[in-house]
Amino acid sequence: MLLSYFMKEAPMKTYGQITITYVSDGKPGEPSLNVSIANENQNIPCTSDGKVIDNLLIEIPFAGYVGFDKFPCSASVGVLPSGITLGSNENATDKKDGRIILNVAKGSNLGSDQTVSGQIPFTFTIKEKEIVKIFTWSKTKDGGDGNIDLYSIESSVSVITKKIDGGLDPTTITFNSWVRNSKNVNLSPYEGLFIIEETVNGVVYNSKYISETAESSVVYTPTTQEITAIRCTLCKKR
């Protein structure tokens, strides 16, 4: 699974983020319903006055699960800011992921020159139940036109299954980071800093791993079977 991101302005510059969700078989007779969204945070390169530098496609894969099994799932997209339009919306099946494509227009200010970020709600329907996920976008004010570097986080899996006996499958997750120029299709390993967090309630995340030196790949083993999600953030090396 490969996700493209741009740099975000922050005390530690963040290049991308991905959350791995746990799925379980649910209670007897009541299989759990889950939706995994691969790209949940996208940074959009803008000029110093807040306008989009170049046309951009944002790809957001998603999958629905009933218990451990993939299940057909549809998505509806909430209100979009000016400058962002829906390119396509492909339903997920039990065989392949669904895909939402958003078009970002060159020169748009995404609401206003002063706007720095925003959120778009996605409502997923699976087995006649609705699950809402929030997609976040943020401006990166790069200061001018020209080539831009695109950063990617790749995870070995999109979900981890939690079985009745409490065991996890798989037992480890591999995160890889990549970079490419916007004018080139070739990816190169990017050595950055990884921050990996766990949550038991889906709200509060606790840091469990922080890179001591720049690296382009991390193999991570969850610290407990009680967590509900793992979040990995890629940051600029110091």
| pLDDT tens profile 25-68 | 666 567 788 898 888 878 788 888 899 988 888 989 999 998 87
Name which residue leads in pLDDT, 17 or 139.
139
Contact indicator for 194, 232 with CB cutoff of 8 Å: yes
Q: In this structure, are residues 8 and 138 in contact, taking their beta carbons and an 8 Å threshold? A: yes
Cβ neighbours, 10 Å, residue 47: 17
For the chain, the domain total comes to 1
The pLDDT value recorded for residue 5 is 38
- Predicted pLDDT at 109: 95
> What pLDDT, in 10s, does the model give residues 148-207?
777 778 899 888 887 777 788 899 999 999 887 767 778 899 999 999 999 998 889 999
pLDDT bucket at 11, cuts 50 / 70 / 90:
very low
CB 83 within 8 A of CB 45: no
DSSP helix/strand/coil, 66: strand
Range of 150's domain? 2-235
Q: What is the CATH number of the domain that holds 212?
A: 2.60.40.10
